[in-house]
Amino acid sequence: MNYARHLYTFDEAFGRPLPFSMSDALLVFFLHDLEKPWRILVDESGQVSNREGLDTKAAYKEFREAKLASYGLELNAMQFNGFTYVEGEIHDYTSKRRVMNELAAFAHKVDNWCARGWYDYPKATGDAWNGAGRVRTS
């Protein structure tokens, strides 16, 4: 979320208006992994696994959408596209038209870097980013 906030400000500084608000970007980025508290299990030895029935991308998507509906949360069309494609177009990719909108592309950029570039941050101790820390360090 912090990186999304900083990147939004950076991208906006180029002088081209972004067709979505920072609030939209943070909402989509926050919601895109909504299933994780229910999906991820950690046993006594620290081994991580997925809860049965929540072990495919399709199952994650179905769970997230059901959770939004159960809370009565409705996304507008731009937000829903961002929410749907934050992890890429995958099976919906086509060279004939753009599938992801700008919000989805932004969220994908943030997610990709966080998952592949800064996957091990914040550091358990001594992280250079002021105020960074982990909830669980083991």
pLDDT for 53 equals 92
Report yes or no on 37 lying in a domain. Answer: yes
Residue 138 maps to a domain: no
At 19 the pLDDT is 95
Residue 135 inside a domain? The answer is: no
136 within a domain of the structure (yes/no):
no
When divided into structural domains, the chain yields a total of 1
Structural domain for 44, as ranges: 2-116
Would you give per-residue pLDDT tens digits along the chain (138 residues)? 888 999 999 999 988 889 999 999 999 999 999 999 999 999 999 899 999 999 888 899 899 999 999 999 999 999 999 999 988 888 888 899 989 999 999 999 999 888 888 777 777 777 887 777 766 655
* Length of the chain measured in residues: 138
Identify whether 64 is part of a domain: yes
Q: In this structure, is residue 90 part of a structural domain?
A: yes
What pLDDT does residue 122 have? 76
DSSP symbols for 66-114: HHHHHTT----HHHHHHHHHTT--GGG--SSS--S-HHHHHHHHHHHHH
For residue 46, how many C-alpha atoms fall within 13 Å in the half-sphere facing its CB? 3
Q: What's the pTM?
A: 0.81
**In this structure, what are the phi and psi dihedrals at residue 118, rounded to the nearest 5 degrees?**
-115, 40
**pLDDT for residue 117:** 83
Q: Confirm whether 24 is domain-assigned.
A: yes
List, in order, residues 6 or more apart from 95 with CB less than 8 Å away. Answer: none
Q: What 3 state SS string does 36-50 have? A: HHHHEEECCCCCEEE
